[in-house]
Amino acid sequence: MTSARSAPDPSPTPPRPSDEAPPGPRGGRGTGNAADFAVDPLGFLARCAREHGDVVSLTPSNVLLAHPDDIGRVLVDRGGDVIKVRPGEKRRGGTGFPLAMMNSEGGEWSRKRRRLRPAFRSERLAGLDAAAADAVARTLDRWEDGSVIDVHAEMSRLAMHVGAVHIAGRPLGAEADALADAVAAIMRLTSSPVRLPSWVPSPVNLGLRRALRSLDTALEALIDGHRPDGGATALGLLLEERPTAPFAEVRDELATLLMSGYETTADALTWLVHCLGGAPEADGRLGEEARRGAADAEGAEGGGYVAAAAREALRLYPPAWVISRIAVRPVRAGGYRLPAGTVIGISQWVTHRDERWFPEPEAFRPERWLDGGGPGHRYAYLPFGAGPRGCLGASMAVREMEAVVRALRARVRLEPVEPEKVRARPALALQPLGVRAVVRGERSGK
């Protein structure tokens, strides 16, 4: 079978005529592409890149970039030519918290990122290991040897506990249900092939409105009950600006921090458990390292085999499976001139599974990250984005993943149950559905 892709070419791509559009399914025209994307986003994007190359017209105003060269230029080198949020998009939509950093641009975005950055510095992350150990201990007290668990539900509880301690300074009480309900409502909305306008009183829209109202009430109680902590937590940093930052801004920021830290980490942990379940040798090696307590084991920098397995799971199943930018000035990619107004899509799902950068791309191989290994291109691996708008909490998420799986695997083994029924649901995050496991206690000294 022939492919639009070829081996990497070191020579620069020659510019094309300014009016030449990139190739794409149906010539990049028609509503059929939008329909195909709505029904099977992952399969559609992978097929587009495989059949049409590294720059693909999806619609007259939407383009997919798959080559790391172009990805790096858009996300890093040409930051002033692209934006994430269109001017004027400030209404609180179905999934939006418009005053949060992630939904801001320009000077507002810079100010908000500077405000939160201290909470995610390496010295502030030291408490994650203790929080993870405590959360895992509480979890294992509930599990019985031989019981079958819903892995995503259990990882969600763990991630919510650890994330809330770091972000808000304490585990969530009644607020946890409101947060979980809001996340579930947003995932239902963003995974639906047909999305009705927010003003339509559909069951999905009505459920989301109720969930967001409950979340507002819970966040208000959390904010009002927080005691000054000298900026030790993200919430503490936000409240230091409370006299000048309106409540709505603090609420939106706290909501996005808690929701992204909870859902994406739970998804990543669940995918890691799923991957290990299908790779007994990798699981055994990780278990041995966890029981040795080898946080600084030889191999992958910063965590040994545990870190390598976490990176590999994030490669195969990146919670952030697609991101987009909007060109405010013409941008060149793959020799094509993309006019201002083009929505540029970048899919981690596609680029992470490209055999040019990752041999045997469909295989779970943590070894590829050991001894200085990794992708064949700097921007071929970007589970947390890249450039100035890369995820502020990336270090926290990775450290939490490693701490949780290390603490869990030191004491139990999770045997997969009907792994063939597991599927990915591409919503706002890449959710794992159907991941179940049998809990097996590890014998000491094994």
**Burial state string for 149-176 with b = 16 or more CB within 10 A and e = fewer than 16:** bebbebbbbbbbbbbbbbbbbebbeebb
**Model confidence pLDDT, tens digit, residues 306-356:** 999 999 999 999 999 999 999 999 999 999 999 999 999 999 999 999 999
How far, in Å, CA of 143 to CA of 167, rounded?
27
Tell me which residue of 158, 263, 179, 262 sits closest to 222, measured CA to CA.
179
User: Is pTM, for the whole model, over 0.85?
Assistant: yes
Q: What are residue 426's DSSP bridge partners?
A: 430
d(Cα 366, Cα 188) in Å, to the nearest integer? Answer: 32
* pLDDT tens for each residue of 65-96: 999 999 999 999 776 899 988 766 654 455 56
The 10 Å Cβ neighbour count of residue 242 is 13
Q: What is the pLDDT of residue 295?
A: 44
pLDDT of 123 reads: 78
* SS3 state of residue 52: helix
- What are the residue ranges in the chain where pLDDT is below 70? 1-19, 28, 30, 79, 87-96, 191-200, 242-244, 294-303, 443-446
